Amino acid sequence: MLSDIYSNLFKNVIEKVKTFGGIKKDDSIIEIVSTLQHRELLEGNTTVMYNHNESSLPEHYNGLGYMNLISMIFEIEILIQDFKNSKDEKPSDINLLFIEEPEAHTHPQMQYVFIKNIKELLKQGIKRDDGQSGELQSIISTHSSHIVSESNFDDIKYLKKNDNNSVIAKNLKELKEEYKTNTKQYEFLKQYLTINRAEIFFADKAILIEGDTERILFPTLMKKYDIDEEKKHKNLGTVDDSLPLLSQNISIIEVGAYSQIFEKFVEFIGIKTLIITDLDTVGLDDKKCEPSIGVNYSNDALNFFFKNPTLLDLKVFTIQNKTFSNTNGLWNVDTNGKLCVVYQILENGFISRSFEDSFIHLNREFITPLKDEFKGLQNRTNFDDTANNAYQLAEHCIKKKTHFALDILYHSNEDFSNWQIPGYIKEGLLWLKQD
């Protein structure tokens, strides 16, 4: 009899739990069941059950994530009921509900479901039987990129530790003002960050890369860099005081040819940022060519950050010339700056145009014996002709860049010592590794 009463009494909150769904329909149907026994009249006489294949199972049979989610909905409902039942008190003009880190012990799918539905649950506000009503405002704190990706961009407030005793709070909608001269860039940025790369909000440092090749290889490049540095210091008998790259909170973001669009954003959130890009040299006809005969370049990011340099300028710039800080909206060279832009450099007498030819130039001895096993290659016999330089090999022998990147990983030995990292990436990672 009590179970029947409970099903009616808790009907409203059970329906709210149901809307939060799960992996499939009806994953979050719960029942409130009486377990009253003659030996336990005063305590322990109710429990929460959940429905599974038309059977009622105890809540502890369910995952911890579901239990946390259901618990939050119950707590919110209790708080709202407390507001409603305060007959002697008029609802305040400001009613705040804080929800702290709802992602705890919940998998990404459940976090998406939570943030999609919580607004609908809370916007009902406080509506009392006596006609009194009030708005209910909510503040959700989170470290979940999944929750951020499903949130309204204009609702997000970004908190960043400034020093040991202060925190800076910023509204992301203020970014709109920064991009007022180019609203299209702002809309692109807003959609891209919330749909694809919300983890950058929680990073201490960021690497902006161009394409799929770098996306596939960069975690391995960072791991190899750490291993090589450890070996170097061990051989020299020195100690490296800086944290390994893979121990740092670094977010890798694929931005294509649009790294310059992110410049106001990285300045806004104030994190140390490394941009990895390509030299992209062109000839007199504006068509791609190898840097040794190039007269210009087609990379908008280089043009933007370095303020329209010549190709010769780019070839002689050192890492000190590639580090910037922002003053009044303009990027200026600053060795203590928080942004660094790196691209291919002269290495062993050769300067490359892209990642592929820079890798081939340094690692020809690694690739040539394995060329028949590299799935991403074609015209493999070209590697046997020493007259063909790295640019020509990259241009005529790489069939698919992503397959070539996977080939590198597949044929790497245990400590990645059978190939080298291109110099421009090494100098960028060294800069990023330091505090």
pLDDT (tens digit per residue) in 198-235: 888 888 999 999 988 999 999 999 999 999 999 999 99
Q: What is the mean pLDDT of residues 231-257?
A: 90
Residue 114: phi and psi, rounded to 5, are -60, -55
Output the pLDDT for position 104.
82
DSSP letters along 208-257, please?
Answer: EE-SHHHHHHHHHHHHHHHHHHHHHHHHHT----SPPGGGS-EEEEE-TT
- One-letter amino acid identity for 323? T
Beta pairing, strands 250-254 & 205-209: parallel
HSE-CB of 293 using CA atoms within 13 angstroms: 10
Inform me whether the pLDDT recorded for 197 exceeds 80: no
pLDDT tens digits, 25-42: 555 566 766 665 544 444
Q: Which of 3-17, 88-102, 370-384 has the highest mean pLDDT?
A: 370-384
Inform me whether the pLDDT recorded for 389 exceeds 70: yes
Output the pLDDT for position 134.
67
Local structure of 388: helix, strand or coil: coil
| Higher-pLDDT residue of 212, 46 | 212
Q: What is the mean pLDDT of residues 234-240?
A: 90
Angle between helices 11-19 and 108-122 (to 10 degrees): 130
| Higher-pLDDT residue of 282, 28 | 282
pLDDT tens digits, 133-166: 667 788 999 998 888 888 888 888 998 887 778 8
354 contacts 344 by C-beta, under 8 angstroms: yes
Q: What is the mean pLDDT of residues 321-338?
A: 94
Q: Which of 64-78, 94-108, 189-203, 278-292 has the highest mean pLDDT?
A: 278-292
Inform me whether the pLDDT recorded for 10 exceeds 60: yes
The CATH number of 2-145 is which of 3.90.1070, 3.40.630, 1.10.405, 3.40.50? 3.40.50
Of all residues in the chain, what percent carry a pLDDT higher than 90? 48
Q: Tell which residue, 216, 124, 257, 238, has the closest CA to residue 406.
A: 216
pTM above 0.95, yes or no: no
Burial class (CB in 10 A: 0-12, 13-18, 19+), 349: exposed
Output the pLDDT for position 57.
56
317 contacts 306 by C-beta, under 8 angstroms: yes
Secondary structure letter of residue 41 according to DSSP: S
CA angle 132, 136, 139 (to 5 degrees): 165
Output the pLDDT for position 82.
76
Residues 44-80 as b or e (16 or more Cβ within 10 Å = b): eeeebbbeeeeeeeeeeebeebbbbbbebbbebbeeb
Other beta carbons less than 10 A from residue 95's beta carbon: 16
Q: What is the mean pLDDT of residues 259-285?
A: 93
Inform me whether the pLDDT recorded for 72 exceeds 60: yes
Residue 148, CA distances (Å) to 99, 192, 195, 196, 279 in order: 14, 12, 9, 10, 34
Output the pLDDT for position 41.
45
Q: Which of 81-90, 276-285, 336-345 has the lowest mean pLDDT?
A: 81-90
Burial class (CB in 10 A: 0-12, 13-18, 19+), 200: buried
- One-letter amino acid identity for 337? G
- One-letter amino acid identity for 384? D
Residues of the chain with CATH 3.40.50: 2-145
Output the pLDDT for position 1.
80
Output the pLDDT for position 37.
53
Output the pLDDT for position 240.
85
Other beta carbons less than 10 A from residue 203's beta carbon: 19
Angle between helices 212-236 and 401-410 (to 10 degrees): 30
Residue 146, CA distances (Å) to 72, 115, 134, 198, 201 in order: 18, 9, 30, 7, 11
Q: What is the mean pLDDT of residues 107-114?
A: 81
The alpha carbon torsion through 205, 301, 431, 417 (nearest 10 deg) reads 100
